Amino acid sequence: MKSVLSAIKNHPELELQLVVAAAHLLGDYGKTIEIIKKDGFEINAIARMVVEGEDPHSMTKSVGLGILEITTLLDNLKPDIVLIVGDRFEMLSVAISASLMNIPLAHIQGGEVSGTIDESIRHAITKFAHIHFPSTEQSAKRIIKMGENPSHVYNVGCPSMDEILKFDLGKKEDIKEIKYLEKFDSKKPFLLVAQHPVTTEFESSYEQMYNTLEAIQETGIQTVLLYPNPDAGSADMVQAILEHGYKTKEKSVVIKKFKNLPFATYIKLLAHCDCLIGNSSSGIRESHVFGTPVINVGTRQKDRERGKNVIDVNHNKEEIKEAILKCLSKGKLECEYLYGTGDSGKKIADILSKIELKNIVQKKISY
């Protein structure tokens, strides 16, 4: 969202009001509100809305708490438009609050397909939203098929492309200069693991994470690992990571575990790693512009538009291990640009500055 926020902030006809919420405020997930501040954005309000527990009950209660918190903030800030991104359960709270308060809602990255509860949340937000900013042409067509007004659907590409296409990625050997990665050996291949819970399969989270860890351990390849997000099942995944680390001790191939990383740092790792393993959307959305091989594990990103760099496997140790060796033998692939070419933020800000709000508040199915 950084490019979108910057474009709105710098647009002469728009005023940015920024609400920071949920995991951005939590120490266990890197307290990334500090990164937002360092990037120079003024924060108008915060919303503490995550109930501890990392299970379906706590996620559901978080949505309810989020509605209470966001409703109060929207009443205070009185925005003309509320802009949200994606398919997180926290965003459902914002969509419900804005819609019931008759505030036009703009939604980025609608119309995509994937696995888990994210699919239902994403499409529910689409039906609440008045203005749609999908990232691909196929996504735009799906939104229109859902009965949304075609004149309010704008295929602008993915805002994350704006940032990564202008980064100075440096060289692979620069990675050892990243804090806590002094042990990194630039002359050897390395793996990047970013695996999150599948909320509809949360009871299997421990086993799913452990299978991935066992697979990478048997390859013997140095690995950088990111902890999972706060969805239902994440506590079990963290437990698997800790227990596997205790089991392997100094023989572990994982040279560093991170709760969170600045986006620029993560993109450098993604660009230079020999393979990304897990089920992060970055394996689908960002990796293809670098030609980085990706092993997409399980159903979390099922059916999402992806490049030729992605191999799909089940939560099976042998499948994951075989896919890793296959990716290493092939090396980097040809770069692709499925999700835009780097000007999404500007496009979104320009559209928001010109749209006639009085024509979009009353929603109805478009036939």
pLDDT in tens, 158-203: 998 998 888 889 999 999 999 899 889 999 999 999 999 998 899 9
Q: Is 104 exposed, middle or buried (0-12, 13-18, 19+ CB in 10 A)?
A: buried
Q: For 140-162, how does the pLDDT look when each residue is reduced to its tens digit (9 = 90+)? A: 999 999 999 999 999 999 998 99
SS3 label, residue 189: coil
pLDDT bucket at 358, cuts 50 / 70 / 90? confident
- Residue type, position 266, single letter: Y
On average, the pLDDT of the chain sits at 93
Q: What's phi and psi for 20, nearest 5 deg? A: -110, 130
Residue 353 has pLDDT above 90, yes or no: yes
Question: What is residue 66's predicted lDDT score, i.e. its pLDDT?
Answer: 94
Q: Class for domain 172-330, per CATH? A: alpha beta
Could you state, in order of their start, the residue ranges of all structural domains in the chain?
2-164+341-359, 172-330
Question: What is residue 55's predicted lDDT score, i.e. its pLDDT?
Answer: 84
* C-alpha–C-alpha distance, residues 357 and 88, integer Å: 26
pLDDT bucket at 305, cuts 50 / 70 / 90? confident
Chain-centroid distance, C-alpha 33: 16
* C-alpha–C-alpha distance, residues 148 and 212, integer Å: 40
How many residues in total does the chain contain? 367
Question: What is residue 165's predicted lDDT score, i.e. its pLDDT?
Answer: 87
Q: With both helix axes pointing from N to C terminus, report the angle between 205-219 and 317-330 in degrees, rounded to the nearest 10.
A: 40
Do domains 2-164+341-359 and 172-330 share one topology? The answer is yes
Question: What is residue 231's predicted lDDT score, i.e. its pLDDT?
Answer: 85
pLDDT bucket at 117, cuts 50 / 70 / 90? confident
Tell me which of 3.20.10.10, 3.40.50.2000, 3.40.225.10, 3.40.228.10 is the CATH number of domain 2-164+341-359: 3.40.50.2000
Q: With both helix axes pointing from N to C terminus, report the angle between 2-10 and 344-354 in degrees, rounded to the nearest 10.
A: 40
Cα distances from 235 to residues 56, 76, 204, 205, 275, in angstroms, run 12, 35, 12, 9, 25
Question: What is residue 237's predicted lDDT score, i.e. its pLDDT?
Answer: 97
